[in-house]
Amino acid sequence: MAAALWNDLKGQVTKMGSTHLRTLMQDQARNDEMFVTSGQMVLDYCRQKVDVETMKKLFELAEKAGVEQKKQKMFSGEKINETENRAVLHCALRAPRTANISVDGQNVVPEVWKVLDAMKGFSDKVRSGEWKGHTGKPLTDVVCIGIGGSYLGVEFVYEALKTDPAAASAAAGRKLRFLANVDPIDVSRALEGLNAETTLVVIISKTFTTAETMLNAKTVKAWLVKQLGTEDCVAKHVVACSTALDKTKAFGIDSNNVFGFWDWVGGRFSVWSAVGVLALSLQYGFDVVNQFLEGGHAMDQHFQQAPAKENMPLILGLLDVWNGSLLGYEGVAILPYCQALLRFVPHIQQLDMESNGKGVQMDGTPVAVPTGAINFGEPGTNGQHSFYQLLHQGRVVPSHFIGFAASQHPVELPGEAVANHDELMSNFFAQPDALALGKTADELKADKVPDNLISHKTFPGDRPSLSLLLPVCNAHWLGQLLAMYEHRTATIGWLLNVNSFDQWGVELGKVLAKEVRGYLSQARKGSADDSKFLAPTKKLLAKYLDK
Ligand code: F6P
């Protein structure tokens, strides 16, 4: 870690801490420098608590931390996920057919395209009705079973494209459902109103051992068998996306119906693999999904080629580290002004918090600065009527505003001052200024606000945000947006020298749950030994079993 540089930046922290955004934003040359464009995308970060000198030092931090070298190692298939001895090559999943990306001396792109072609072939057959269910009916409905990285990204893209006109027309007459939570309520929600005769089940699990997914898979398999009267239905109604072909076979799935991927695809980066491509192609057709892949690839090229000062994922990563590890803000609000992005934030939450919620560096020693931010958010304007009060007058939470120049579904009412999308976007433009500038007591007095309300109505301002403006929420730009956030996450990890690609922190809870499961299983049968649990846990378990 470049300790001297962190110290140098601490000087910037003091300087920026005492300079209000009102002052910073008076410098038009500074603002212009922080208005970055790439093709039709804009990143405006002049409402961040940085001046040109701070940014210079942050770009130096990136150089000293070896971000460029680490990026090249990732793109060239080196095993940068050291604790799992794996390459990190989700970028290969969205590379063109002609690309050459090697792992252990082997070009993986032909393998990637072999699976993509197989998924196109399969989804075309299901969509056209050529692939029929056990009773001879076409399969119009799909239930995806998976959790975490094997769910969130797929649901985000599904929701985002649901109202895209081209994708929606390709999805006519089809349903896509998700079953993630092991809560039996989720089973009933996912299956509600579905007919087993016309339902295809896609089991998505990299390891094919995840407890929630395996129990849900068995539960839905039992539903299929009960409805269709025979185990034979599995051959036509159940397929899998996994790296564990032995386990999918043991589950009873024909190897021809398993779409594979590789250990160099991390769960939270896997929507570009069979994890996302199969279900999304079944719903929207492969051509739409391919536009998403192409969008992701375009962002890969931007990340690899754009100079630092124009490199959007790099700047996002630097600003998040500046805000989180140096200014000490603990959260990041992600605020898409687009209802179609309603599941974007949960996906980014997992992507960033599972990746960078780490306490030690690559060599196992503690990180010297705070790491990992609490990512949260809601689409605007709904969030404005929920938690923005806190953003304006409570805690300082650096915010990402994401908007689109055009709506998926423009509406213009005669007699209204503006079209509905302009109404939405009025908020997208207004909120960052309100956060940055605030409203002073003097301004309120000038507005003749009664004295007893002045302090209540004062807005301190000086709250950082950035704004991202993209053309329209379609498959291509969704690909660009998601890949940008993936590279933001990787950049943060490289700056902090943590491994963004492992997730050991999810293990302990799983182990303890296994002990409880064993205890509950015994207890339900009669008696069980609870001596291994803490006294308060024993007490709560006893109450639970009373019911
Ligand atoms: O939450 C932990 C995790 O391992 C994620 O990283 C992963 O995406 C998810 O569980 C599901 O894992 P799998 O795809 O193996 O079922």
| Residue for token pair 């953003």 | 391
Of all protein residues, the one whose alpha carbon is nearest to atom 10 of ligand 1 is 148
Q: Note if the pTM is more than 0.95.
A: yes
Q: Supply φ then ψ for residue 348, to 5 degrees.
A: -65, -35
Determine the distance separating the centroid of ligand 1 and the alpha carbon of 443, expressed in angstroms. 52
Determine the distance separating the centroid of ligand 1 and the alpha carbon of 231, expressed in angstroms. 28
CA 55 to chain centre: 26
Quick check: 376 and 336 in contact, CB under 8 A?
A: no
Q: Is the CB of 148 under 6 A from ligand 1?
A: yes
Quick check: 199 and 224 in contact, CB under 8 A?
A: yes
Coil, strand or helix at 114: helix
Q: What is the pLDDT of residue 2?
A: 53
Give me the catalytic one of 354, 358, 421, 486.
354
pLDDT digits (tens, 9 = 90+) for 128-154: 999 999 999 999 999 999 999 999 999
Determine the distance separating the centroid of ligand 1 and the alpha carbon of 84, expressed in angstroms. 14
Q: In one letter, which amino acid is 127? A: R
Q: Is the CB of 384 under 6 A from ligand 1?
A: no
| 354 flagged as catalytic | yes
Determine the distance separating the centroid of ligand 1 and the alpha carbon of 276, expressed in angstroms. 14
Of all protein residues, the one whose alpha carbon is nearest to atom 1 of ligand 1 is 148
Quick check: 375 and 334 in contact, CB under 8 A?
A: yes
Closest ligand 1 atom to residue 270 Cα is 8
Q: Is the CB of 353 under 6 A from ligand 1?
A: no
Residue 538 burial (C-beta neighbours within 10 Å; 0-12, 13-18, 19+): middle
| 206 flagged as catalytic | no
Q: Is the CB of 91 under 6 A from ligand 1?
A: no
pLDDT digits (tens, 9 = 90+) for 335-357: 999 999 999 999 999 999 999 99
Residue 433 burial (C-beta neighbours within 10 Å; 0-12, 13-18, 19+): middle
Q: Is the CB of 153 under 6 A from ligand 1?
A: no
pLDDT in tens, the chain (547 residues): 556 778 889 899 999 999 999 999 999 999 999 999 999 999 999 999 999 999 999 999 999 999 999 999 999 999 999 999 999 999 999 999 999 999 989 999 999 999 999 999 999 999 999 999 999 999 999 999 999 999 999 999 999 999 999 999 999 999 999 999 999 999 999 999 999 999 999 999 999 999 999 999 999 999 999 999 999 999 999 999 999 999 999 999 999 999 999 999 999 999 999 999 999 999 999 999 999 999 999 999 999 999 999 999 999 999 999 999 999 999 999 999 999 999 999 999 999 999 999 999 999 999 989 999 999 999 999 999 999 999 999 999 999 999 999 999 999 999 999 999 999 999 999 999 999 999 999 999 999 999 999 999 999 999 999 999 999 999 999 999 999 999 999 999 999 999 999 999 999 999 999 999 999 999 999 988 999 999 999 999 999 999 5
Give me the catalytic one of 10, 510, 514, 532.
510
| 294 flagged as catalytic | no
ipTM over 0.95 threshold: yes
Q: Three-class SS string for 428-481?
A: HHHHHHHHHHCECHHHHHHCCCCHHHHHHHCECCCCCEEEEEECCCCHHHHHHH
Of all protein residues, the one whose alpha carbon is nearest to atom 6 of ligand 1 is 267
Nearest to 241 by CA among 344, 333, 116, 385: 116
Closest ligand 1 atom to residue 146 Cα is 16
Q: Is the CB of 210 under 6 A from ligand 1?
A: yes
User: Measured on CA atoms in the order 296, 145, 344, 355, is the torsion positive or negative?
Assistant: negative
Q: Is the CB of 216 under 6 A from ligand 1?
A: no
Q: Is the CB of 503 under 6 A from ligand 1?
A: yes
Determine the distance separating the centroid of ligand 1 and the alpha carbon of 201, expressed in angstroms. 19
- Tally of residues, the chain: 547
Q: Is the CB of 311 under 6 A from ligand 1?
A: no
Give me the catalytic one of 10, 114, 309, 385.
385
* N-to-C CA span, the chain: 54
C-alpha distance from residue 310 to each of 55, 302, 307, 399 (Å)? 12, 9, 5, 20
Nearest to 50 by CA among 7, 28, 21: 21
Q: Is the CB of 389 under 6 A from ligand 1?
A: no
From 207, 214, 251, 508, mutation site for ligand 1 pocket: most ligand atoms within 8 A of C-beta: 207
Determine the distance separating the centroid of ligand 1 and the alpha carbon of 149, expressed in angstroms. 6
What distance in Å separates the CA atoms of residue 501 and residue 482, rounded to the nearest whole number?
A: 16
Q: What is the pLDDT of residue 547?
A: 57
What region does 324 belong to: left with phi over 0, alpha with psi -120 to 50, or beta? alpha
Nearest to 466 by CA among 337, 334, 357, 277: 334
